[in-house]
Amino acid sequence: MHHKIPNVNKADLCNSFQKTVTEILLENVKKAIQKTKIKEVALAGGVSCNTYIRKEFLKLKNHGIKVYMPDIKLCTDNAAMIASAGYYNYISGKRNELSLNAIPNLKLK
């Protein structure tokens, strides 16, 4: 069965997705602020590199919320670092079985 792909402007679709995700993030943060009475928010990680998300989160300052976020150059996604570690393990000859499992608190050597 063939599915017809709608003729959608990709830029508009991506913009709408970004806006919706940001609205949901902000809604959840506002709920957390109301429940906890905490008046400080820290934005970090790869998502915090998104300029639209940063701009929208900064609007929380208008409601007496302190917003912290690192410089964009420090907002990295760990996927690149994991890929780099895997690459160097691979070229050094280290291999693992497919049964290898993630260890979330593994110490780096």
Question: Where is pLDDT greater, at 28 or 78?
Answer: 28
61 DSSP assignment = G
- Number of neighbouring beta carbons within 10 Å of residue 60: 19
- Number of neighbouring beta carbons within 10 Å of residue 47: 14
Of 41, 94, 96, 44, which is closest to residue 63 (Cα–Cα)? 41
CA distances from 20 to 16, 23, 73, 82 (A): 6, 5, 25, 29
Kindly indicate the confidence band of residue 21, based on its pLDDT and cuts at 50, 70 and 90: very high
Sketch the domain layout of the chain as residue ranges: 10-91
**In the predicted structure, residue 1 carries a pLDDT above the cut 80:** no
Q: Say how far apart CA 57 and CA 103 lie, in whole Å.
A: 32
Question: What digits encode the pLDDT tens for the residues 52-90?
Answer: 999 999 999 999 999 999 888 777 767 777 888 889 999
Question: What digits encode the pLDDT tens for the residues 42-52?
Answer: 998 778 889 99
